[in-house]
Amino acid sequence: MHPESNELDIAKKTTLNAQQLAAVKHVTGPIMIIAGPGSGKTRVITERIAHLMNTGIKPENILALTFTNKAANEMKLRINNLTKNHAAFSIWMGTFHSIFSKILREEAHIMGYSSNFTIYDNEDSIKIIRRIIKDLNLDKDIYNPKFIFSRISFMKNNLIDCQTYSTYSDFKEQDTRNKRPMFLSVYTKYTQICKNSNCMDFDDLLMNTYRLFKNNPLILANYQEVFKYILIDEYQDTNKAQDKIVKQISMKHNNVCIVGDDSQSIYSFRGANINNMLDFKKFYKNVTEFKLEQNYRSTQNIVNAANSLIAYNKHKIDKTIFSENLEGDKIKLCEYNSGREEGNQISSMIANSIINGSKKSEHAILYRTNSQSKVIEDGLRKRGVNYRIFGGLSFYQRKEIKDVMAFLKLILNHHDEEALMRIINYPTRGIGATTINKIRLKAEENNKTIWQTMDSNAFNEIPLTKNAQNNVKFFIEMVKELFQIIDENIFKIIEIVINKTGIIRRLKDDPTPENINRLENIGELINTLKIFSMRQNNNKLIDFINEISLDETKNKNDDEDYVSLMTIHQSKGLEFPHIYIVGLENGLFPSQKNMREKKMLEEERRLFYVAITRAIKKVTLSYAVSRFQFGIMNKTNKSLFLDEINYFFIEKTQRNYQNIKDAKNLKIPKLNNRKLRRITTNTSQKYSIQGLKIGQNILHNIFGKGEIKKIDENDGNQKITVFFEKGGEKILLTKFAKIKILT
């Protein structure tokens, strides 16, 4: 199954279960829907919105926030089919960024922007920061542009602007300790450039929306009246800014419904705060809670294994995920001599499965970091297995597309400095770095944008050669001509841009394979314009630019059959029949950094939980007892998480040393964690426990003391759910479990 598939298709049953139906039909008040993996939450969301509309609530009074545009568009289509009036496209539905950018365009003048502001992507922002660091003569290694951008992003997501930052002495002390005392200067300069350029980055869309509502009570009241019913998907992934805005706009009617799973909160590095979900009941009073605990995706063994793992987390909402699917295969655990052997053997498993009739798209290999893909790629290539690595450049991140888009952005917003700097000398027109720097210095001196400086008398004061002056003036005249076509049909605009600017001509004059590919990509951009125009019945440049700026989708080929390779973070929301999770070693997964702190270790455990629950039928776990690190072969210890999965749900394969020359010399490191035990069906080892009751205290030979929480009888097989003081919740089959009744 290709990664483009999602949970929309997960619940193929015709009826909702009791909890799903209750969540759909509950209309008023704050609602919390805890949706475990594979529980059909997307269906619940869509049917709930459809129910609201069918009961007479106007679609324009419903706000539904998602984390991807793709999810929003697919839900709109489904809602449209479920409703009587087919008005789903009137719902305020989209990502936080797309909805808030729409609001900000309406209210831009209040924030000191014009409504045609453009949106910087991460690459644009980093380029600006890189120039600031250079202008301030700062060490680019200490003031790493990507790090600085990440820190600025963190501050904005926590609603800390430059002025607020300057009041925190702790921040200043931290910057001094880290040898970055000029961080605030960089942050301030970056903010000024964005404002002067009439641009916002993605984080500004959140922070500025919050400030808009905070500082303008009448505007807030207006949107509170508009958004009478609010629903937010994946609430465990929201950051502080998103949480605060939701609280602002829901304050009047209190009809806010959050959907999510705390056990799948894995994005703290992006600013996500699991406490937004855990503390929901503390802020809102009389919250109605629904738990979607039935997993329709995975086998019983997969679900039970995942449950036994996540039970070790302390900070979570209590729930018991279960499956009524087939019991299924046990999780396969493989130990390998080296990382390369791991890559080869996993590749062989997949190749053999394909030979026996499975599709490549049924297999996905998940890893903690991108660097782990190399040995797996080598193994798959060697066996002629087609694969695809996720996480590459999206279509709109490709150079030639960004070049064309920069011209389009400049037509829309003359002061977009990043767009201007990108194409001022592309294609080459004799405007070198020296000339550009002189213009920039003059612009800063007069507190003007670069465009204002070039298009004013101040330009004549800049000491440039005659050639440089003429080249700049030629560029100005060309761009001014482009300004005149802003109201034209977008087809005509792009036709004029690609021909007038010489982009197409330059690529055709140098027909290398790379340039031919770039020409094809520009052709695909033109195709996209056509589709956009037909879909939206809209030929406005500003609408196209806005949609593209907020588009998170990748360049995809749905028809191709391939094995999927991706990080676990990238797998969130996806599902595959067979999941392979590789590199399960301490220091790699969990990562070395996150092993030191309990809070981060819990997030690593949630990440592993997410990985396991992507599987429909089979899970293969693997680790190596030695692995190359920076060119040195080091011994490793298997991940501590492997010993947290109940051994009843695992089948460990024996390591094969055949053809391994150094096997006899290999020293397997001693592990402090308990070893996985093999379960036999020898009747002499069976235990019959009579008279067990819920609430009894028992002693287990491995897990220690625990309390019986649940007893299940199925065809003579008695299962008990026990919460152990040290091991968390475990499911035990009493005929195999070595337990002693204490009370």
> Which of 7, 19, 20, 41 is the catalytic position?
41
> Which of 233, 243, 342, 575 is the catalytic position?
233
Distances from the Cα of 574 to the Cαs of 377, 567, 643, in angstroms?
21, 12, 26
Report d(CA 581, CA 725) in Å as an integer.
Answer: 29
Using CA atoms of 8, 11, 16, 20 in order, give the dihedral in degrees to the nearest 10.
-60
Strand partners, 659: none
Three-class DSSP labels, 343-406: HHHHHHHHHHHHHCCCCHHHEEEEECCHHHHHHHHHHHHHCCCCEEECCCCCHHHCHHHHHHHH
* Active site (annotated) includes residue 233: yes
One DSSP character per residue, 251-291 reads TTT--EEEEE-GGG---GGGT--THHHHTHHHHSSS-EEEE
> Which of 7, 124, 201, 234 is the catalytic position?
234
* Active site (annotated) includes residue 289: no
Q: Give the Cα-Cα-Cα angle 305, 308, 313 (nearest 5 degrees).
A: 135
* Active site (annotated) includes residue 42: yes
SS3 category, 626: strand
* Active site (annotated) includes residue 509: no
Minimal CA–CA distance to 561: which of 385, 373, 390? Answer: 385
Residue with tokens 């340039």: 515
* Active site (annotated) includes residue 234: yes
* Active site (annotated) includes residue 651: no
Distances from the Cα of 617 to the Cαs of 576, 608, 613, in angstroms?
8, 17, 10
Q: Are 639 and 585 in contact (CB under 8 A)?
A: yes
Backbone φ and ψ of 730, nearest 5°: -135, 150
> Which of 7, 19, 20, 42 is the catalytic position?
42
Residue with tokens 């193929």: 12
Q: Are 27 and 285 in contact (CB under 8 A)?
A: no
Q: How many CB atoms lie within 10 A of CB 667?
A: 8
Report d(CA 241, CA 211) in Å as an integer.
Answer: 10
First to last CA, the chain: 50
Residues in the chain: 743
> Which of 131, 368, 614, 618 is the catalytic position?
614
Active site (catalytic) residues = 41-42, 233-234, 264, 614
